Structure formats: C-alpha cells, structure tokens
Amino acid sequence: MAKSKHDEIVYAAADWWVRLREPGAADETIEQWLAWTGEDERHLATFERVTELANQLGSLDNVSRQGLIKAFARPVAAPRRWMPLAAAAAVAVVALSGGYLAWTRFASGNASQVYASAVAQNRDITLPDGTQVALGAASTLTTHFTHGQRRVELSNGEAFFQVIHDNSRPFVVAAGDVSVRDIGTAFDVRRTGQRVTIAVTQGRVEIADIRQKAAAGQHGTLDVSAGQLVSYDPHTSSMTIGSIAPEQALAWRSDRLEFIDEPLSVVIANLNRYSTRQMHISDTDLDTLSYTGTIHTDAIDSWLSALPQVFPLRVSTTGNQVILSDAEHSSRR
Amino acid sequence: MTLSVHVSDIEKLFREHNRALIAFLQCRLNSHSDAQEVAQEAYLRMLTLHNREEVDSLRGYLFKIAGNLAIDRLRKRKVRNEFAAEQAHDEPVVETSPDRHAMAAEQVVGLRRALTELPPKASQAFVMHVIEGRDFGAVAQTMKLSERMVRYHVANALAHCRARVDEKEMP
C-alpha cells in the first residue's frame, strides 16, 4: 500500500529529526531544514509532533523504560544463563545442598506450619524466628524450621520477606525450581505456576536453580542485590535480570500490581488472586502477549474494559467468569 | 562604524522563527523547558553582537548560537549524570532528564506493538538511541553498523511509531 501524504511528511520529519540531532550538523543542514519548514505549514507541525514523541520516550518512567530496553535493545543476546560458579561459591552451594539433604531427611520429625491467605486479601505474618512476611492474596506458604536451617516453601502467589539474619541458620525460600537464600535482606518472591520472579529491596540474596543443582556439573547460583529483579522462565530454565525500585516491587501491598514485560497468562493468574470473578484465557495465542503496566486491584473491571484497545482480544462475561478470547478468531467465525 | 543588532531585529527574529528555534532545540535537548531557556539565552547573546556586518544572516547566526548553547547544556548534563552515578556507586542510576513524562500504560503497550512491526534492527537502534539515550556512534558500535544505517533505522522507527500513535489517537 502506498504511503499517504500524511505518512510521507511524518517520514520526512523523522529524517530531519535524525539529521538535526547531530551536534555537528552543518549550518546548511539547518538552513535546508528551515526551508523545508517554510514549504508547507504541516511540515513544522509534524516535526514538532515527532520531536514530542521522542521527548516522551526519552524520559519514560523506569518500569516502561526497562521493559522496552529488555524487549528490543537486547534481541541478539540469549537469555542470561546461570552464572558460572567461582570456586568459593561452589563451596557455599555444596554446604547448602548438604543442608537441603539434611532437611529432607529430618523434615518429617519437625513441625511445619502452613500459612494461607484468601482471595483478594493480603496478610501480614510474623514467623517464629521474628522474620516478617507480607503474604499476598490467595498465596500459600509452608515453613519447615530446624535448628540448622529455616526453610520456607511458596507453593503459590506472592510474599515479601524481611528476614532476621542468622549466619548459623540460613533462611531459604523455595519456589518451584528456584531457591532464594537470604544474605541479610528484604525481598519479594512471586510464583505463578512454575514461573518465579524475585525482587530484592534491601541487601543481597543468592538464587539457585534446584534442578540444575541436582544435575552434575551444572551447579550455579546468582548473587542479586537490592534494586534488581530476576525472572525465572520455566520453559527455558533461564533467568533474566532487570532493575526494579522497592516501591514498584511492593506496590501490591498498596493494591497495585506492577508487571514488567510479563506474559498475559501470568498477569491474569496474578489478577485472579485479587478478583472474586475469575478470568480465563480461552485462546492460547493470547498467553504470550507481553504486558507492562500497573493494575489497581480495586479497578480490575476498568482495566479489563480497556484491554481490547491494546491487545487483539475480546472480553466476555459468563456468570461469574470472564473470558478473554482472540478477537480475530471470533470475528472470522 | 559598527552597527549593533537592534531590539527590533530580535523581535522580528522571534516573531518569524521562534517556533522553529524551539522545535530545533527540543530535538537536540529532549526537553521543552530546556529548549525555552536556551532560546532565551540565544536571543540575549544576539543583542550583544557588535559587528553586525560580519554576519550575513541573523537567522543563521541565531541558530548557530542556539546550537552551541545546546551542546554546552548537553555536556553539563552528561557531567552531572556521571557525577550522580559515581555518588551512587553500583546502585542503578536513572539518567536525569529535566522533565519526566508519564506515559499511560496503554500507550506504552501500543508503542511496544508498533516496535514489533518493525525489522528487529530498526527497533533495536531506536530503543537504544531514543529510550536508552545512547548516541548514534555508540549504537553503531554495539550493533556493528555504520552510523548512517543507525540514523536510517532510527528515523524509520520514529516515523512508524508516530504514525501508529496518531492512528490510535485520531481513529
């Protein structure tokens, strides 16, 4: 299809934008540009619009910025694999796996405690060791404390831990294939099925892939510091590192869910923890649409009604269920 | 005899070219408020110009002064950002830019979709230059392309995104 006159001007304006950006742009370039702006009154107006968009994009909020950089500015780099182990760290992991084995052997003899929260209800808990846990809605946590280790399993949902550090008694959170060990810290763990994200708000943690640890020669841990966000993708057993501000990581405690470049299926699964009406995605094509943004858990309905404007999908309600389906499939039928 | 620039000359320049001057500075500085400040300063500099007969075009001279002031300002901004990064040690630093723009989540999603419609090299060059704020030379080096190709990709992507955002706003 041929470009319209309007599009032609937009492309010309963007070309001028790029040429004028150069600090060393020649005086003649500026003169030619001025002549161009004088040719048609739409020229300068379009140039202003192009510049305005570039300005907006140059000063995006950090969540959107990181999301776009992650999605487009690093397409050639494969997802970062577990970092190779330095010798010193290898010792730590062996010690840690020892602890893990000890735990499995003695777990049956030790008291476990299950903490669960209801849909749409966050819950604050103090564990026996003094560690503070903020448990997100519809989340389940099981503690297994021994005198040598404090182990917590997050089987679903999200929890923020402010750990009372004790060198002789490491604090380890297991979430699916991933374990997170505190090194004097506060951190948030969210588990959606086998997908896990960890946001560190204070101090450091050591993250390990339990399955890779079990495989010979594949031992790996990752040191993650405050301000970093790690996402574990179960399909590729890989993780990516990004950055996150503490207030973003903990937004859910103030009824806001923040997502950075997450599959729609993950977004919906997490929203369901806060919604009395459960949402389902009926076309798997939609699962992988990537979403970045903030959703207020008290305004899920208005978010849903805006969704078809940004994704090619339809939202329909049947009884107490909300169905998200592919807009193209339904229109073709 | 020297002839200095008269206030009425400046007024005429302002009337006829201020809008273009602001657009030009905004393109360089990524900020409307900085563009206005620099433009003001450029007009003031014009008034202190003493040998007018050496200048063929007052307009050309105005844009030249403004361009140089913009370069100074970018340099200062860079020093400030580097200093901030040093102060913060290894904490992640967000580059400070004079005005922060909040973009609605829906707009960001729309933009993201527009970027996926482009060849990967175009969206990569665009995000690195416009969003990450790296200059053309640095992008060219990372992508192993010539600067000319990087500029070409960035221009194409910028036009595509502008057109897509416009479609959404004016259906």
Q: Are residues B21 and B68 in the same domain?
A: yes
Q: Could you tell me the two tokens for B116?
A: 């996926």
**Range of A66-80, A302-316, B9-23, B43-57 with top mean pLDDT:** B9-23
Judge: A225–B90 Cβ closer than 8 Å, yes or no: yes
Q: Tell me, what's the pLDDT at A294?
A: 87
Q: Per residue in A140-166, pLDDT tens?
A: 999 988 888 899 999 999 999 999 888
How many domains does one find in chain A? 3
As a whole number of angstroms, the distance between CA A185 and CA B76 comes to: 37
Query: Which chain A residues touch B73 with a CB distance below 8 Å?
Result: none
Q: Are residues B9 and B81 in the same domain?
A: yes
Query: Strand A228-233 and strand A278-281: pairing?
Result: unpaired
Q: Per residue in B147-158, pLDDT tens?
A: 999 999 999 999
Q: How far is B117 from chain A (nearest CA, A)?
A: 12
Q: Are residues A291 and A307 in the same domain?
A: yes
As a whole number of angstroms, the distance between CA A142 and CA A162 comes to: 16
Selection from B111, B117, B145, B149 nearest residue B131 by Cα? B111
Q: Per residue in A249-299, pLDDT tens?
A: 889 988 899 888 888 999 999 999 998 889 999 888 888 788 888 898 888
Which residue, A223, A247, A271, sits at the end of a domain?
A247
Q: Are residues B18 and B63 in the same domain?
A: yes
Judge: B115–A18 Cβ closer than 8 Å, yes or no: no
As a whole number of angstroms, the distance between CA A45 and CA A49 comes to: 6
Phi/psi of residue A192, nearest 5 degrees? -125, 100
Give me the torsion for CA of A45, B153, B149, A41, rounded to 10°.
-10
Give chain A's end-to-end CA distance (angstroms, integer).
27
Q: Are residues A133 and A205 in the same domain?
A: yes
Residue-by-residue DSSP string for A115-165: EE--TT--EEEE-TTS-EEEE-TT-EEEEEE-SS-EEEEEEEEEEEEE---
Q: Are residues B81 and B102 in the same domain?
A: no
Q: Compare CB distances from A293 to B32, B109, B128 and report the shortest one's residue.
A: B109
Q: Which of A45-49, A80-84, A215-219, A316-320 has the lowest mean pLDDT?
A: A80-84
Asked if pLDDT for residue A193 goes beyond 60, the answer is yes
Q: Compare CB distances from A18 to B70, B133, B151 and report the shortest one's residue.
A: B151
Residue B104 pLDDT class (50, 70, 90 cuts): low
Tell me if B149 is assigned to some domain. yes
- Looking at residues A120-131, what average pLDDT do you find? 87
Are B20 and A45 in contact by the 8 Å Cβ rule? The answer is no
Q: What is the CATH number of the domain that holds A327?
A: 3.55.50.30
Judge: A57–B131 Cβ closer than 8 Å, yes or no: yes
Percent of chain B residues topping a pLDDT of 70: 82
Q: Are residues B26 and B83 in the same domain?
A: yes
Which residue, B33, B68, B88, sits at the end of a domain?
B88
Q: Are residues B132 and B63 in the same domain?
A: no
Q: What is the CATH number of the domain that holds B59?
A: 1.10.1740
Q: Are residues B78 and B141 in the same domain?
A: no
Give me the torsion for CA of A63, A65, A66, A69, rounded to 10°.
160
Q: Are residues B118 and B74 in the same domain?
A: no
Q: Compare CB distances from A72 to B94, B123, B133 and report the shortest one's residue.
A: B123
Tell me if B160 is assigned to some domain. yes
Domain that holds residue B146: 98-169
Q: How far is A303 from chain B (nearest CA, A)?
A: 10
Judge: B162–A53 Cβ closer than 8 Å, yes or no: yes
Asked if pLDDT for residue A82 goes beyond 80, the answer is no
Domain that holds residue A122: 109-247
Which residue, B59, B88, B117, sits at the end of a domain?
B88
Q: Are residues A103 and A116 in the same domain?
A: no
As a whole number of angstroms, the distance between CA A309 and CA B130 comes to: 25
Which residue, A195, A222, A247, sits at the end of a domain?
A247
Tell me if B72 is assigned to some domain. yes
Judge: A54–B27 Cβ closer than 8 Å, yes or no: yes
Q: Could you tell me the two tokens for A165?
A: 């550090």
As a whole number of angstroms, the distance between CA A208 and CA A226 comes to: 17
Q: Are residues A102 and A166 in the same domain?
A: no
Q: What is the number of alpha carbons within 13 Å of residue A213 lying toward its C-beta?
A: 21
Selection from A152, A122, A159 nearest residue A137 by Cα? A122
Are A157 and A191 in contact by the 8 Å Cβ rule? The answer is yes
Are B136 and A22 in contact by the 8 Å Cβ rule? The answer is yes
Q: Are residues A132 and A241 in the same domain?
A: yes
Give chain B's end-to-end CA distance (angstroms, integer).
61
- Looking at residues B131-153, what average pLDDT do you find? 91
Residue A220 pLDDT class (50, 70, 90 cuts): low
Q: Tell me, what's the pLDDT at B98?
A: 43
Give Cα separations from A238 to A155, A212, A235, A255, A284 (angstroms).
20, 11, 8, 30, 22
Tell me if B10 is assigned to some domain. yes
Q: Are residues B108 and B155 in the same domain?
A: yes
Are A187 and A161 in contact by the 8 Å Cβ rule? The answer is yes
Residue B88 pLDDT class (50, 70, 90 cuts): low
How many domains does one find in chain B? 2
Nearest Cα residue in chain A from B125 = A73
Tell me if B112 is assigned to some domain. yes
Which residue, A80, A108, A136, sits at the end of a domain?
A108
What is the residue-averaged pLDDT of chain A?
A: 80
Judge: A311–B100 Cβ closer than 8 Å, yes or no: no
Q: Tell me, what's the pLDDT at A173?
A: 94
As a whole number of angstroms, the distance between CA A214 and CA A243 comes to: 29
- Looking at residues A8-31, what average pLDDT do you find? 91
Which residue, B88, B112, B135, sits at the end of a domain?
B88
As a whole number of angstroms, the distance between CA A31 and CA B58 comes to: 12
Residue A5 pLDDT class (50, 70, 90 cuts): confident
Q: Are residues B75 and B10 in the same domain?
A: yes
Under 8 Å CB pairs connecting chains A and B tally to 170
Residue A222 pLDDT class (50, 70, 90 cuts): confident
